Structure 1
Amino acid sequence: MTTPLTGSIEGRIAEELGVRERQVKAAVELLDGGSTVPFIARYRKEATETLDDAQLRTIEERLRYLRELEDRRAAILESVREQGRLTDELEARIRGAETKARLEDIYLPFKPKRRTKAQIAREAGLEPLADGLLGDPGVEPSAAAA
């Protein structure tokens, strides 16, 4: 099911589950307050307007997923912006991604590559020294460095 990315997380969850947004908001407030799904299903039915435990569990899972998605989206936007490679089209694609997998696929070409210790040593100009030491293992490293 495709949901519009405009609006609140609660609105998206309500649309996905086919319940009212105020029910989802009430459940989210209780979950954020530390209440568990079984507690809400049993003792706070009036607050959630009789959402059952399966619906509450789905709300909890989707809430966690969508919050993680929004956090990751913000981190990706910040990373690409710092690289100076953020265009309006790219920002629209990132904001339009509906899943974490799609978001990561969009980010992949912009993801900074991990630098290995060997790459750091090459950048520091140590490659000729390493080649010399590997070519003649009997040479003392301090003598080869001089």
Structure 2
Amino acid sequence: MRRSDDPVKGVSRLYDPTERETAIADARFVVVATPHTPATEGLIGTKELDAMREDAYLINVARGQIVDQDALIVALEDGKIAGAALDVFEEEPLLEDSPLWDLENVIIAPHKGSATNRYHLDIADLVKENVQRYRNGESLKNRVA
């Protein structure tokens, strides 16, 4: 799902954000990887979690504020979805008394989802490209605001 209709290699169908529930309804894994903006705050809430399959997993490697954490906890506790893998939370670090710690169907990671063995190379390439774009008066790549 994305705002742009530019083709994505290896992706057979792109959904517009207005088709969020349709896109989610048949997905076994729903991966949240979007910037945190006013438009994405609370993007995944009760309505979206209810649209997911019972055997589906939510994976959030974006920002905690994009997923309604209370709604997610209810969906997990009620078995509405199979589980979640979370790298980010509404408040970080995740509060010690959060029910997420005790849920067997949740994997909690320490906000390191971007830490790959290529991360520093990818960032260097992005900075180099954006310096060139800036010099050429072009729009910057991956600009959030």
Q: What's the TM-score once normalised by structure 1's chain length?
A: 0.29
Structure showing greater Rg: 1
More helix by share: 1
More strand by share: 2
